[in-house]
Amino acid sequence: YLNIALGDARDQSVEDNSVDLIVSSSPYMTSYEYADLHQLSTIWLDFTEDLKQYRTRFIGSSSRPENRHVLRSEFANNIVLEMKDKNKKLSQEIGSFFLDMEQVFDESYRILKSGGRCCFVIGNTSLKGVDILNAQIFAESIQHSGFTLDRIIKREIPSKILPQTRDKKTGRFTSSSEATSIAYPVEYIVIGKM
């Protein structure tokens, strides 16, 4: 049978070794705050009275206090350091995002049954001219969490409903005439196994 539960992927209220398969289209490290994108529906549906506090709960939120990130992924650490030379605030946000995702991978490992699989769909991006190699970082990070890397599937995205063009300097979606890159022309499915 199928059991669907709502919760924070970093702290699931699910028993150890109880899940057969995890499939996730993870948040992306972009120049947008997910809390901002969902602010109207959050207020309208009365999910919170304190938006500032609510924002801190989102993966990779810039609303959290600054702290130092010691990431397990060498790729991630190198990207954080490279971004620090260009934009300290973005460097902090990137570190926060990957630290949160490490918690997601640890929690996924805890709840998956022996023989289970996890599949994380993600695309690589670029911010301020720094390539953010999400797929490689996810592959490295799931292994640090205890998974064996089964494979990485690279898939072209034939059509998208969301904007398809991006400004490479800001990372924001933009009109086709002002675009310097295609937003996520390919995506990767990073598959780990127990």
Predicted confidence at residue 101, as pLDDT, reads 93
Examine residue 11 and state whether it is found in any structural domain, yes or no: no
Examine residue 48 and state whether it is found in any structural domain, yes or no: yes
Predicted confidence at residue 159, as pLDDT, reads 66
Structure-token match 């938006």, residue found = 51
Predicted confidence at residue 169, as pLDDT, reads 65
Find the Cα–Cα–Cα–Cα dihedral 38, 185, 69, 66, rounded to 10°. Answer: -40
Asked if 122 contacts 132 with a C-beta cutoff of 8 angstroms, the reply is: no
pLDDT tens, residue by residue, 42-84: 777 787 777 777 766 666 666 666 666 689 999 999 999 999 9
Q: Residue 59 sits in which domain range?
A: 19-159+187-193
Q: What is the Cα–Cα distance from 105 to 141, expressed in whole angstroms?
A: 7
Token pair of 147 as six digits: 């998974």
pLDDT tens, residue by residue, 94-151: 998 899 999 999 999 999 999 999 999 999 988 888 999 999 999 999 999 999 999 9
Mean pLDDT of 10-31: 84
Examine residue 81 and state whether it is found in any structural domain, yes or no: yes
Residue among 123, 121, 113, 89 at smallest CA distance from 25: 121
Residue among 140, 151, 148 at smallest CA distance from 112: 148
Full-model pTM: 0.78
Examine residue 164 and state whether it is found in any structural domain, yes or no: no
Give the CA distances from residue 118 to residues 2, 17, 107, 108, in Å, rounded to whole numbers and listed in that order. Answer: 16, 13, 11, 7
Predicted confidence at residue 51, as pLDDT, reads 73
Mean pLDDT of 164-170: 61
The total of structural domains in the chain comes to 1
Examine residue 136 and state whether it is found in any structural domain, yes or no: yes
Predicted confidence at residue 177, as pLDDT, reads 59
Examine residue 71 and state whether it is found in any structural domain, yes or no: yes
Examine residue 9 and state whether it is found in any structural domain, yes or no: no
E strands in 62-122: 112-122
Asked if 149 contacts 192 with a C-beta cutoff of 8 angstroms, the reply is: yes
Q: Per-residue pLDDT for 152 more than 90?
A: yes
Q: What is the Cα–Cα distance from 166 to 48, expressed in whole angstroms?
A: 32
Examine residue 150 and state whether it is found in any structural domain, yes or no: yes
Token pair of 55 as six digits: 């924002």
